[in-house]
């Protein structure tokens, strides 16, 4: 213990003296750097680049040379001293803040603008201020690791009035490098005379308990002029604390450090503890040897018990994993079964697989139902068109809950395309009527629940009952095909394959007259009529049959006839639709409103646009022909009606197209060509004015009036003016 007490005291004394010397050296180095910074800034302030020209409202996009020189100067100033984080130039008349790296920035924040304006107040041209780091709204004034105090030097150029200021922002990390050897095993603080931290990092995170204790103690000792190194106790630890002051232009900064002396006294503590440890180790060794001997005697029994427990835990874990994966395995098996991918298994093997998943098929049979949802766009805005998987998932959950209420064992298959498959295990009953009624009641409950919950139209097909598991894929596929016989006009439809197939009561209806009117309207470019006939076409099909299969066939027939009309008109249909399979797109649409929307926006409107563009190109070529005709035959008695007959279009159509192409009416263009020709003849020839009038297609008296009205002077005056 005496070694511990004497050694620790001696070490603490030596540590205090060493840190006091190091702190004095670091403080002196920082003072020298800051003095050099202030002198350098005073010299830079008189640089001609900071002249009165900056007071003017300059267009920095045009003053590239001035801007580049200014940026280079600010960058050079920043690089002259390692303590500088950034150098700013504030120009008050234009309210601009300029940096070498950030360029010219307008100060838009009123608080920041006021704070920058206050820099130019007062009598001192160079001073330190602590107000700018508080302007966090001005991002350019708050760089990372910024120092609380900034050095400001006001500039005036060649006039007495101060128009701006050079602002130097220091880097806390750079200043901290001078004191980096003090905080490895303790803490260090850089504060001002009020006790505020000069580092933004400390200001943001707050003081630690050790930093708070160090700050308060230093301020108290400084107030009492009690300088020198001292021992600070905090949290049962002893710290060697010392501080130094830096005075700059009326401001006073304090650097304080506290180092844990335990790291220096650690060897003494270790030796003391080592002696105690060796003493205790002998006692513990005897105890351990006795325990090890007894443990070795009972090791075989413990090993056997451990192995038995391990096997039991492993068995339980495997059993739990199998039970957890059983629903997933059954889901995969059922999906492969209904898709016909288990064709290589015979009936006995399929029954054995189902029995493994809990389906005992002895004296039982399987009922197959397929649900198809539609009306996604009409679901009162609850879903979007791309929510098919979400809607199918919700419907599958509803169907699963309702099926479990009526049957003990069932399985739901989510096909992810608004269709759901239902497999129900029911007993073999010679009287099928009761089972059919039960299944139909289940179907009605499902349709009603889906309509009330999801606001969707449901078509449900009840397939044939199967005792042979190998027939399930074919029955499922037949049921899915039977869904196309659903009536689109009914809110919910229940189809029974055994009742539907023998009946054969459906007849096919096709509105030929409406189709002719629709194609005729498309050929004439009558867009509104074409859309109206398309609406009538779909409405007639829906009201006559309402069967989805027949509606698809009728729409496919209409699509083929429209494409045939386009081919006869000379259009490359396959290039027009970029090789896309329109019939495949049509098969993916189930609802009549969706089919109508697809017909209008995918077929009719694009075709109308293509026809309209083709018509406009042909009309433009005809107008060009008439323009060339007027340029060549302007001296003859040419008329719009004759030109229309010549190219074979109506006179009103030609008139509109001519004005659209040339920007003037036909008569105005003829007048323009004739006047320009007469002007050329008046200047280049000595022909009489009457002869010139006849050459351009006018009588002499009428030519005078027309020429003066168009040119502003008479033909004689025009010739004299240009002779």
**End-to-end CA separation in angstroms for the chain:** 129
- The model's pTM: 0.37
Give the whole-angstrom CA distance, residue 379 versus residue 457. Answer: 9
Residue 457 and residue 452: Cα distance in Å, rounded? 10
CA distance 158 to 82: 30
- Residue 287 to residue 241: CA distance in whole angstroms: 46
What phi and psi, each to the nearest 5 degrees, are found at residue 220?
-65, -45
Structure tokens at 64: 């590239």
> In this prediction, what percent of the chain has a pLDDT beyond 90?
0
Number of CB atoms found within 10 A of residue 64's CB: 9
Q: What CA–CA distances, in Å, run from 580 to 311, 574, 583, 605, 719?
A: 62, 8, 9, 17, 67
**The pLDDT value given to residue 550:** 65
CA distances from 373 to 290, 404, 488 (A): 78, 20, 11
Contact assessment for residue 382 and residue 455, using Cβ atoms and an 8 Å cutoff: yes
Among 196-205, 226-235, 455-464, which is the least confidently predicted range? 196-205
Asked if 251 and 170 touch (Cβ cutoff 8 Å), the reply is: no
Report the alpha-carbon angle 406-411-415, nearest 5. 125
Pairing of strands 457-462, 492-496: parallel
Mean pLDDT of 439-462: 82
CATH of domain 332-499: 3.30.70.1230
**Range with lowest mean pLDDT among 370-384, 513-527, 574-588:** 574-588
- Please report the DSSP string for 342-402 in residue order: TTTS-HHHHHHHHHHTT---TTEEEEEEEEEEE-GGGSTTSS-TT-HHHHHHHHHHHHHHH
Pull the structure tokens for residue 155: 């500039």
CATH fold of 58-174, please? Answer: Beta-Lactamase (3.30.450)
Mean pLDDT over 7-31 rounds to: 69
621-722 domain in CATH 3.40.190.10?
no
CA pair distance 268, 430, nearest whole angstrom: 99
Rounded-to-integer distance, Cα 301 and Cα 305, Å: 6
pLDDT of the residue at 76? 84
Beta pairing, strands 230-234 & 186-192:
unpaired
Least-confidence region, from 18-27, 567-576, 581-590: 567-576
Check residues 135 and 232 and name the one with the higher pLDDT: 232
Phi, psi of 529 (to 5 degrees): -65, -40
508 compared with 654, residue with greater pLDDT:
654
CA 598 to CA 238: how far, in whole Å? 83
Most confident of the ranges 210-224, 649-663, 683-697: 683-697
Measured CA distances, 651 to 452, 621, 646, 668, 674 (Å): 62, 16, 11, 16, 22
- Give the Cα separation of 462 and 368 in Å (integer): 6
pLDDT: which is higher, 76 or 230: 76
Question: pLDDT digit string (tens) for 404-445?
Answer: 888 888 888 888 878 888 888 888 775 667 777 888 888 888
Q: Strands, DSSP E only, in 428-580?
A: 457-462, 492-496
Q: What is the mean pLDDT of residues 681-691?
A: 85
- The hierarchical CATH code for the domain 4-25+183-264 is 3.30.450
What pLDDT, in 10s, does the model give residues 137-191?
A: 444 554 545 677 788 888 876 566 777 888 888 877 777 776 666 655 567 777 7
Higher pLDDT, 553 or 704: 704
Contacts of residue 42, defined as CB under 8 A and 6 or more positions apart, other chains included, come to 126, 153
Beta-strand relationship, 126-129 and 492-496: unpaired
Say which residue, 326 or 13, is predicted with more confidence: 326
**Does residue 386 register a pLDDT over 80?**
no
Sign of CA dihedral 498, 501, 504, 506: positive
What does DSSP assign to residue 160? S
Token output for 337? 């079964």
| Residue 229 main-chain phi, psi, to 5 deg | -80, 145
- Count Cβ neighbours within 10 Å for each residue of 85-96 and write b for 16 or more, e otherwise: bbbbbbbbebeb
Provide the CB-side half-sphere exposure for 477 (13 A, CA): 8
- Return d(Cα 12, Cα 229) in angstroms, integer: 11
Q: What is the mean pLDDT of residues 132-139?
A: 50
Number of Cβ atoms within 10 Å of the Cβ of 336: 14
**Which range among 238-242, 256-260, 499-503, 547-551 shows the weakest confidence by mean pLDDT?**
499-503
pLDDT score for 72: 85
Max mean pLDDT range (190-194, 195-199, 396-400, 489-493): 396-400
């Amino acid at each position: 213990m005496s070694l511990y007490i004497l050694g620790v005291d001696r070490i603490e004394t030596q540590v205090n003296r060493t840190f006091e010397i190091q702190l004095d050296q670091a403080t002196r180095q920082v003072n020298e750097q800051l003095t050099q910074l202030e002198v350098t800034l005073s010299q830079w302030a008189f640089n001609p680049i900071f002249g009165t020209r900056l007071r003017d409202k300059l267009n920095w996009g045009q003053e590239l040379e001035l801007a580049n020189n200014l940026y280079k100067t600010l960058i050079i100033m920043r690089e002259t001293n390692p303590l500088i984080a950034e150098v700013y130039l504030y120009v008050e008349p234009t309210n601009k803040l300029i940096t070498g790296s950030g360029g010219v920035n307008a100060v838009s924040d009123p608080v920041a603008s006021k704070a920058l304006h206050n820099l130019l107040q007062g009598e001192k041209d160079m001073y330190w201020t602590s107000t700018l780091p508080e302007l966090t709204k001005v991002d350019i004034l708050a760089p990372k690791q910024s120092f609380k105090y900034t050095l400001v030097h006001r500039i005036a150029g060649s006039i007495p009035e101060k128009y701006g200021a050079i602002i130097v922002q220091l880097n806390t990390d750079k200043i901290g490098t001078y004191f980096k050897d003090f905080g490895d095993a303790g803490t260090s603080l850089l504060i001002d005379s009020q006790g505020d931290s000069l580092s933004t990092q400390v200001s943001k995170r707050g003081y630690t308990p050790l930093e708070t204790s160090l700050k308060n103690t230093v301020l108290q000792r400084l107030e009492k002029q009690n300088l020198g190194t001292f021992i600070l106790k905090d949290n049962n630890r002893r710290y060697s604390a010392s501080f130094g002051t830096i005075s700059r232009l009326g401001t006073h900064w304090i650097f304080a450090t506290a180092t844990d002396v335990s790291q220096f006294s650690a060897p003494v503590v270790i030796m003391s503890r080592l002696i105690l440890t060796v003493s205790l180790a002998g006692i513990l060794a005897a105890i351990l040897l006795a325990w090890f001997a007894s443990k070795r005697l009972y090791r075989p029994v413990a090993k056997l018990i451990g192995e038995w427990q391990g096997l039991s835990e492993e068995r339980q874990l495997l059993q739990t994993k199998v039970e957890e994966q059983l629903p997933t395995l059954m889901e995969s098996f059922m999906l492969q079964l209904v898709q016909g991918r288990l064709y290589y298994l015979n009936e006995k093997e399929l029954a054995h697989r189902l029995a493994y998943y809990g389906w005992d098929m002895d004296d039982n049979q399987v009922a197959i139902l397929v649900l198809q949802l539609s009306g996604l766009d009409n679901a009162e805005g609850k879903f979007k068109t791309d929510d098919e998987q979400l809607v199918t998932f919700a419907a599958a959950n509803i169907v699963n809950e309702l099926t479990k209420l009526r049957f003990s064992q069932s399985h739901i298959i989510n096909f992810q395309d608004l269709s759901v498959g239902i497999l129900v295990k029911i007993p073999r009953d010679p009287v099928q009527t009761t089972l059919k009624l039960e299944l139909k009641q289940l179907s009605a409950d499902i349709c009603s629940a889906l309509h009330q919950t999801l606001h969707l139209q449901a078509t449900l097909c009840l397939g044939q009952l199967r005792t042979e598991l190998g027939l399930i894929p074919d029955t499922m596929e037949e049921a899915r095909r039977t869904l196309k016989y659903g009536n689109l006009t009914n809110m919910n439809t229940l189809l029974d394959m055994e009742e539907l197939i023998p009946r054969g009561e459906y007849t096919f209806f096709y509105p030929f007259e409406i189709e002719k009117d629709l194609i005729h309207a498309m050929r004439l470019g009558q867009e509104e009529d074409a859309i109206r006939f398309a609406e009538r076409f779909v409405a007639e099909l829906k009201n006559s049959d309402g069967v989805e299969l027949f509606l698809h066939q009728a729409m496919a027939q209409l699509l083929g006839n429209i494409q045939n009309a386009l081919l006869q008109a000379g259009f490359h249909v396959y290039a027009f639709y970029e090789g896309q399979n329109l019939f495949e797109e049509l098969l993916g649409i189930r609802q009549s409103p969706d089919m109508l929307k697809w017909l209008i926006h995918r077929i009719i409107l694009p075709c109308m646009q293509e026809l309209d563009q083709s018509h406009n190109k042909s009309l433009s070529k005809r107008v060009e022909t008439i323009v060339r005709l007027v340029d060549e035959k302007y001296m003859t008695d040419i008329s719009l009606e004759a030109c229309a007959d010549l190219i074979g279009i109506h006179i009103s159509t030609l008139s509109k197209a001519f004005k659209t192409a040339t920007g003037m009416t036909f008569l105005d263009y003829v007048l323009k060509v004739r006047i320009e020709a007469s002007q050329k003849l008046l200047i280049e020839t000595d022909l009489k004015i009457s002869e010139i009038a006849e050459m351009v297609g006018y009588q002499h008296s009428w030519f005078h009036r027309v020429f003066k009205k168009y040119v502003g002077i008479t033909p004689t005056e025009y010739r004299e003016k240009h002779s």
